[in-house]
Structure 1
Amino acid sequence: MATLSELLHSRTALGDAEVEWLHLLVGDWQLIADLSFADLVLWVRPATRTTGRDGTAGTDGTAGPWEAVAHVRPTTGHLVFVDDQVGRTADGEHVGPLLDEAAAEQRILRVRQVEVPSDTGHQSVREEYIPVVREGSVVAIITRHTNLWTTRTPSRLEITYLATADALCRMVSAGEFPHSTAPTGLRRGAPRVGDGVIRLDIDGIVTYASPNAVSALHRLGHLGEVVGASLAQLVTDNLRESYPVDEGLPLVVTGRQPWRTELAGAGTTVSMRAIPLTEAGQRFGALVLLRDVGELRRRERELMTKEATIREIHHRVKNNLQSVAALLRLQARRVPEGEARTALEEAERRVGTIAMVHDQLSQGIDESVDFDAIVKRGVQAIVDVSSNGAPITTSLEGSFGRLRPEDATALAMIVSELVQNAIEHGLGDSGGRIRVLVERLSDERGRPMLVVSVEDDGTGIDPERPPGSGLGTQIVQSLVADLQGRIAWEPASPRGTRTRFTASLRPLP
């Protein structure tokens, strides 16, 4: 199914500004649906599509039948439509003329009652047609569908919710909602209607507070009456000097600006959002949503602590490995030239390779590592140490991508050993070129795998020293087997050696 943006751009002649306005509306209209206890459907008037002589598509400026491009259901009451209404057209229905009338007159139309099919037969539904206005022009229509499933006397909560929803609908029809300047914070825990609702008058006095809102304020430390009190004074009286205060708090508790904030106190945290209510551009009150997010923030802090601990562990492991490598280097300097010194130097290099993986892991909080950065650093370090001044160029073709730490450590050791062997036994003192070619595929079971080749343009395979006879190649073969892969050595074209291996990877978390 196409996204809202794709539907609006492909089916209508709306400009970018109008499309963005509808995105803002749809991003916030769950609020209206919950306050209304009703389904909302967004209708647009598609432009008739044309095809030019050159085959290009366009619009001829005329409008087709109204089409539903978005639908939201209430989380506070009985829904009307079980099936999603996106894609439904109003052609030939009673809905079409009413949509036209609401758009032409730019006013809210209220239809007393209609019968809508349901799973159990038919249900009585009240329909309303609300023009979506931006800068004086109608860009869409919202239909509000309320299930008249009961005739009982509504509670004060329901009356307040419905009155607030009506005020927001009037703001939509006047082009005063949504608020384009409202922040869209990325932190989890944004308050919703079911979490707690407070109505303020123009002076910031609480005229209504839902039971959940009262409970949230009680958890902040306020045990007195809420209705009739100034929300700003109530919050100020319960502030703790030890807790930081957000600069946006005064804007929220007075309801003067569409803003969000969080208030910490008494061992909990309350997220607050203010939505000014206006009529003809004049503010007459505000809606404030509250949510107790103390437990959510506590878990986030625990997670951040664990992530910091993991980074610190990787950092310390890296430091310890570097210390081991330094000790091996010092020991190698005390050993005369020969096999013993060579063995210590190779051990130092291998420990340093593992340290690079932990260094990369300590840079972030993901349970994976960017292996391309490790390969580039590792290959360059080996060339700098082992080339003895010979001109050697290296290249990485393809991408390893992100890998699990277990796979990254083994692959770093494999590539390091293969590059070292290519320099030592292939290029020698004459120099040359080393290429690392990577292809990321999926095996027959759909699991990720790598096909890696390390090529050099050196002297080629020595028949008197076949692959697998040295300690380095034995290490490589063992690590490749651990990765459920295979490895082979073969002559490269026009000269040199190609080492090709496969490796099965663990899925990323």
Structure 2
Amino acid sequence: MPSLSKFLADNPDLSGKEADWLQHLVGDWNLLSDLLRTDLVLWIRGEEGALAVAHCRPATGSTVYYEDPVGTVRSAVTGDPEDPDAAADPEGAEIARLLAGGEPTEEPTPIEREGRSATGVMVPVRKNGRTLAVLAAESPDSDATPSDNETHQRRLGVRVLEMLQHGAFPIEGAPIPPRRGAPRVGDGVVELDEAGVVQWTSPNARSAFHRFGIAGELTGTTLAELSTEVLQSRSPVDESLPLVLMGRAAWRSDMQARGGTLSLRAVPLTQNGTRTGALILVRDVTELRRRERELITKDATIREVHHRVKNNLQTVAALLRMQSRRMKTDEAREALAEAMRRVSTIALVHESLLQGSEEAVHFDEVIDRCLRLAVDAASATVHRAGSPRLTDAQVEVRTEKIGRVGTIRAEEATPLALVVTELATNAVEHGLSETGGTLTIRSERTGSHLVISIEDDGNGMGAAKPTGLGTNIALTLVQGQLGGTLTWENRPEGGTAAVVDVYLDPLTL
């Protein structure tokens, strides 16, 4: 099924701004659906008749649609329009009439949806005097007497529906509220008049304000005055809060005091361009904000831990470098240099974890640094391409990276970085230290399957099997910690390739 954006983009009757307006309506029409306790269906002109392009179910009542109506086409008749015996479709005819610019009927009409009786109201969606679409509000029939809460909310919904017909809803220029913590009708509703005086509050709204510390009857008072007494604290106050509490701006703001937090959203109600009141949606987000603060604190703590571990590892590497300079034998100096390189590789992973907000590593950046580290820490007979040559006898080693690894878990990044560094260092020292050439890391990832090939174009290893501490470390990490395989093979064009084949654990966000 195409998306709403696809439906609107393919419709030649709608300009770009008109399509954006309908997108804005669909992004905020749950307010209208919850107030009226109705399903909402948006109809636009199609090639074969009216086309349903969006649907919204109420969170405060029952739905009349078990199957999504998006994609349904309605015309003035059912069946073939050229067939004289085709039956008339009153609903399709009414949608077509409204799309053509007709005025809506005020009385709801009885309809049937999926074998159940329901009531429907159709209104035109207009902008700048032009009808862009038709909105159908449909609710199941009920014999129960509506409660006082339902009656007030429905009355507010009718006022918003009238604004919709005159192009005043959704409110132009109002920011779309963030989804996280955004209040809805079921959380609590407050009705204000044009002066900001409370006319009615839903039970959930009264409970939220009482928990916040505002006691007593709210009706006949202003929220701004009542909140001033509670907000006498050192906590900073959002500068848009007074406008929201008075219902003068279509905005969303948080009000925090005494350890509690309320999320407030104002929707000004207008008639003929004049503000006649407002409704305030309110939600108690105290627990949600507390958890957000805990996550922020946890994230900061984890970053600090990675920062300190990186610094400590760099200190260890520096100490090993100093110690190696005091060694009198080449074997001791090489052993300390290899240990320093391995510690530096682990530090690279922790430094990468400092850059992101998740416990995951963008491993391609680590590979770049592992390549440089492997060549720079290799034998003194080589130098990296682009770096200064220390002696005329040095050979040049070029580095190349093909393919992408992407993001992997921090637990797998450390052993994989060590493996890549060890294999790259071995390739330089045993394959390229005398002839020079190109060191290539080729990565292929399909889902969780990752194959990394570390290749050189040197003399090749022939029939000999790779040995040494670095080889044993790489084998142990690949087989033990990563649960994969490590194989060596001679390249047909010359040189050696070490192939790491592993299956990574999926990232959990």
Corresponding position: 1:459 with 2:464: no
Displacement of 1:275 in angstroms is 0.6
Residue 477 (structure 1) aligns with: 475
Contact 2:195 2:246 in 1 (8 A): yes
Counterpart mapping for 1:84-99 below 5 A: 84-91=68-75, 92=77, 93-99=89-95
Counterpart of 2:140, as a letter, is N
In 2, distance between residues paired with 1:330 and 1:462? 37
Cα distance change of structure 1 residues 27 and 97 upon mapping to structure 2, 3 Å threshold: same
CA RMSD of aligned residues (A): 1.7
Secondary structure class of the residue paired with 1:109:
coil
Q: SS where residue 433 of structure 2 aligns?
A: helix
Deviations 1:62-93 (A, max 9, x none): xx311111111111122222221112221222
Q: Contact 1:251–1:257 at 8 Å: present in 2 too?
A: yes
Partner of 1:262 in structure 2?
A: 254
* CA shift in 2, pair 1:105/1:7, >3 Å: closer
2:401 partner letter: L
Give the alignment of 1:91-170 within 5 angstroms.
91=75, 92=77, 93-118=89-114, 121-123=115-117, 125-152=118-145, 154-170=146-162
Distance in 1 of aligned mates of 2:264 and 2:500: 56
Between 70-79 and 369-378, report the one with greater CA deviation. 70-79
Separation in structure 2 between the aligned mates of residue 470 and residue 35 of structure 1, nearest angstrom: 73
Contact 1:102 1:109 in 2 (8 A): no
Distance 1:361 1:497 in 2: 32
**TM-score, normalization by structure 2:** 0.91
Query: Deviations for 1:423-446, whole angstroms, at most 9, x for unmatched residues?
Result: 11111154221111111135xxxx
Partner of 2:409: 404
Q: Distance in 2 between matches of 1:494 and 1:94?
A: 76
- Structure 1 residue ranges, 4+ long, deviating more than 6 angstroms after superposition: none
Q: Write the letter of the residue equivalent to 2:187.
A: D
Report if aligned partners of 1:12, 1:44 keep a CA contact under 8 Å in 2. Answer: no
- 3-state SS, counterpart of residue 233 of structure 1: helix
Amino acid at match of 1:142: L
| Aligned counterparts of 2:327 and 2:223: Cα–Cα separation in 1 | 78
Q: Contact conserved, 1:108 with 1:173, CA < 8 A, in 2?
A: no
CA distance in 1, matches of 2:263, 2:453: 54
Query: What amino acid is aligned across from residue 370 of structure 2 in structure 1?
Result: G
In structure 2, the partner of 1:380 is: 372
Distance 1:9 1:452 in 2: 43
Distance 1:189 1:5 in 2: 26
- Aligned to 1:74, which of 47, 58, 65? 58
- 1:180, 1:132 → 2: CA distance? 14
- Matched residues in 1 for 2:469 and 2:182: separation? 59
Residue 17 of structure 1 corresponds to: 17
2:367 counterpart of 1:351: no
Q: Is the 8 A contact 1:111 1:127 kept in 2?
A: no
Q: Which secondary structure state, in structure 1, belongs to the residue aligned with residue 309 of structure 2?
A: helix
Match of 2:7 in 1: 7
Asked if the contact 2:27–2:176 (Cα under 8 Å) also holds between the matched residues in 1, the reply is: no
- Tell me whether 1:501 sits opposite 2:485 in the alignment: no
Name the stretch that deviates more: 180-189 or 396-405.
Answer: 180-189
Partner of 2:444: 439
User: Structure 1 residue 12: deviation in Å?
Assistant: 4.9
The residue aligned with 1:291 is 283
User: What is the CA-CA distance between 1:270 and the residue it aligns to?
Assistant: 0.3
Instruction: Note the alpha carbon deviations across 1:110-167, whole angstroms, 9 max, x for none.
Output: 444424144xx532x2211110011111110001112221252x33322221111111
Q: CA deviation at 1:381?
A: 2.3
Equivalent residue for 1:30?
A: 30
User: Alpha carbons of 1:178 and 1:96: their partners in 2 closer, same or farther (altered >3 Å)?
Assistant: same
Shift of 1:105: 4.3
**Structure 2: gaps of 5 or more residues:** 78-88, 384-388, 390-394
| Paired position in structure 1 for 2:311 | 319
TM-aligned CA deviation for residue 468 of structure 1: 2.8
Structure 2 vs 1, CA of residues 115 and 103 (structure 1 numbering), >3 Å: closer, same or farther?
closer
Q: Alignment partner of 2:73: what SS?
A: coil
Structure 1 residue matching 2:451: 3-state secondary structure: strand
| More displaced stretch, 484-493 vs 428-437 | 484-493
Counterpart residue number, 1:415: 420
The 8 Å contact of residues 109 and 121 in structure 2, kept in 1 or not, is answered as no
TM superposition shift of 1:309: 1.5
Deviations 1:470-499 (A, max 9, x none): 111111111221222222222224322222
Letter of the 1:129 partner, please give it: M
Q: Distance in 1 between matches of 2:58 and 2:178?
A: 23
Q: TM-score, normalised by structure 1?
A: 0.91
Query: For 1:248 and 1:141, how far apart are their aligned partners in 2?
Result: 34
Shift of the alpha carbon at 1:11?
A: 4.6
SS in 2 for 1:391: strand
Query: In structure 2, what residue type is equivalent to 1:136?
Result: G
- Over 3 Å counting, the alpha-carbon distance change for 1:144 and 1:217 in structure 2 is same
Paired positions, count: 482
Match of 2:84 in 1: none
Q: Could you say if the C-alpha distance between residues 360 and 185 of structure 1 is closer, same or farther in structure 2, counting changes exceeding 3 Å?
A: farther
Matched, 1:207 2:206: no
The separation in 2 between residues aligned to 1:84 and 1:185, in whole angstroms, is 26
Q: Distance in 2 between matches of 1:78 and 1:406?
A: 47
Percent identical residues: 45
Q: Would you say the 8 A contact 2:458–2:495 is kept in 1? A: yes
